Chains A and B, each alone.
Chain A
Amino acid sequence: MERLHEPGPEERFLQTPGSRREKLYRQMRLIRRFEERLLRQFDEGDVSGTTHACIGQEADAVGVINHLRRGDVVFSNHRCHGHFLAFSDEPKLLAAEVLGRRSGVVGGRGGSQHICWESFYSNGIQGGIVPVSVGMALAEKFSGRQAMATVFLGDGTFGEGVIYEAFNMASLWSAPILFVVENNRWAQSTPVEKELAGDMVARATSFDIEAGQIASTDAEELYDHFQPLVAGVRESGRPRLEVIDTYRLCHHSKSDDKRPRQEVEEHRKDDPLPKLRARLDDSAAETIDEEVEERIEAAFSWALEQPMANDEELVDPLVEAAP
């Protein structure tokens, strides 16, 4: 395993100067502006394939991840930009990765859905990351390290059977893992009413996993809500599941949004960014906005100057025929 940088997300958050409110807003602003810039680069033809933005869900990332410590495992999914930026604070590396550059998080091999940085991982298969994360949590415990794992899943992921196998084993074997369910009400183009019977919290509690639900896009509220939950997993060494009812204000992946326009517009009043910005002094907010603009500009200018991943990447001695 790689050597870890100091400090972890929690320590970095606490050490950063400014009020908690300002810091949460700065992080969310970075995530939002990163993705907006990324979508612009997409339109300019710089992004290959597609990209999944988390616009509208930024409060989840900062509400949860700022409580995690150095060495804690995070496993994220296809919609991982917010989680990654909250965990790493490395917009340059992510920009380079999504733009297919050699200096990206994983050298352009993964793109935005498949990255690894220190103890942060993501993969693009629904559900399959959940047992892997349980195994990671158990390995931390087995090895006597004090770390825990957090895995992000969505309402759509509840259709994958393997997550129930993972819940079962997490509970049976007391894995220190937090399952964070971002219920954004839409699995790609399918509304939750058409993909989910019953209740997500009840599914977890039926495995003897403590579970709860919060409807919020308020970063401060989520930060306060998750503080004792993360501490609880760490102290009890038991799994916990928490559903966040949120909303995706953007497409699922680039340019594929057929949801009712009115519904989307109604949810804009819950946009986590203006909600938190309204609680800041104008001048403080403006300063943060400018600061973030500079970082985003620097990250993307840097990334666009990096060499593309080239075919040296394709030489893999471990996959070639035996000697």
Chain B
Amino acid sequence: MGTSVLKSLNDGLHQIMGDDERVVVMGEDLLDPYGGAFKVTRGLSTKYPGRVWTTPISEAGFVGVASGMAIRGLRPVVEIMFGDFLMLAADQLVNHAAKFRWMYGDKVDVPLVVRAPMGGRRGYGPTHSQTLEKHFLGVPGLAVVAIHPLVEPGELLRRAVLEDRRPLLFIENKKMYARSLRRAVNGQIGPMEVFSNDAVYPTMTLAFGGLVGGDVTIVAYGGMVEIAVAAAERLLIEDEIYAEVVVPTELQPFDVQPVADSVRRTGRLVTCEEASRAAGFGAEVSARVCDESFDALRAAPVRVAAHPVPIANAPTLEQKLLPDIEDVVSAVRMAIERPDSSIRAGVG
């Protein structure tokens, strides 16, 4: 068993707080022995008393407080217990933190990190399972980063907290906490070769046997990454379809280049997100790919996403309505077999 995503984040926070006294951690139920709802902050309040602020149930309030602290020289890390509760802090993020630096003529920075665990598949039902970061994509001034097991989550958190001037949403995934990191060995993760663009928040491209061209580009982030990789492996075995999987880590601002480059090699695009499809991540990626490499597309892009209903509590319903390996596989098959617009009604 390797390092889990949870351990990487927890170790990262311990190190960040040890390295820089300006770092304060704030959120609900963070104090030991409880140590936060998902235990990402476990041990911090014991080791750094006075720098871990357990808060009232006031997401708007404490995100605002942290934003003020950031302007005045601290490096606050806020935990939103369930990502769904980010909506309570939307005004602080969109109308305050995201605007301050530019609106104030670059006289201030707001180095604020807001961590939020998103995603379903744990039976928490309609208000504790959503994937809501799409509502914060496209807000000028607000960065959105989504971790996954192919990166070192603790290291990316360190960069966000200590090296990034921007207010930043750090998207985690509840189901992912228990997953082991999948570090590349000899440039391979499983049967796929891994290429990174070495950005601060890297985009990884996974391909069978190098970037030599394939049949389809699958773009996936956050909780959909391992699902997309599993789908790619299955497609190779069952269909002899060669997929490249492109995994962005910074969703906003979004560097489309690795995706566009891959599409130039494959001619087809399938996007994956755990949120519902409308006005989402896949829509943006598709539009950006059309901007950059429309001429390379041999088929209309296909978006894999959740059914547009609240996340059901019953496991049979939840499983069915969230996109899974089978949905990615079907979407790729449709993209390859039916390169016309009718497939766009396909999945989800």
Contacts and interface: CB of A to CB of B under 8 A. Distances in A.
Interface of A: 1-2, 73, 105-107, 109-110, 114-117, 121, 123, 125, 128-140, 142-143, 161-162, 165-166, 168-169, 172-173, 316, 318-323
Query: 3 nearest interchain CB pairs?
Result: A135-B68, A165-B61, A131-B64
A128 B96 contact: yes
A138 B105 contact: no
B201 A322 contact: yes
Contact of A131 (B74, B92, B140): B92
Given A321-B255, A322-B199, A132 B65 contact: yes
A1 B69 contact: no
Contacts of B256: 321
A165 B64 CA distance: 10
A139 B68 contact: yes
A83 B65 CA distance: 22
B55 interface: yes
6 contacts: A110-B105, A131-B92, A142-B74, A166-B65, A318-B166, A322-B199
B285 to A, nearest CB: 13
B72 A319 contact: no
Most buried by A among B73, B101, B199: B73
Nearest to A124: B95
B70 to A, nearest CB: 8
A151 to B, nearest CB: 10
Interface in B94-115: 95-96, 99-105, 107-108
B147 to A, nearest CB: 16
Nearest to B55: A169
B165 interface: yes
A318 B108 CA distance: 13
Contact of B60 (A114, A117, A162): A162
Contacts of A128: 60, 64, 91-92, 95-96
Interface residues of B, number: 46
Is the contact region of chain B dominated by helix, strand, or loop, or is it mixed? mixed
Contacts, number: 148
Interface string B71-94: 111101000000000000001100
Contact of A140 (B58, B70, B72, B201): B72
Contacts of A135: 64-72, 76
Interface string B183-207: 0000000000000000111000000
Interface centre among A133, A135, A320, A323 (most CB of B within 10 A): A135
Given A105-B105, A134-B68, A318 B141 contact: yes
Given A2-B107, A131-B62, A135-B66, A319 B140 contact: yes
A313 B60 CA distance: 30
Nearest to B56: A168
A162 B104 contact: no
Contacts of B24: 142
A132 B104 contact: no
Contacts of A142: 24, 69, 74
B91 A162 contact: yes
Given A128-B91, A140-B72, A169 B67 contact: no
B346 interface: no
Contacts of B166: 318
A63 B72 CA distance: 25
A115 B102 CA distance: 11
Contacts of A2: 107
B105 A134 contact: no
**Of B73, B107, B166, B250, which is in contact with the most chain A CB atoms at under 10 Å from its CB?**
B107
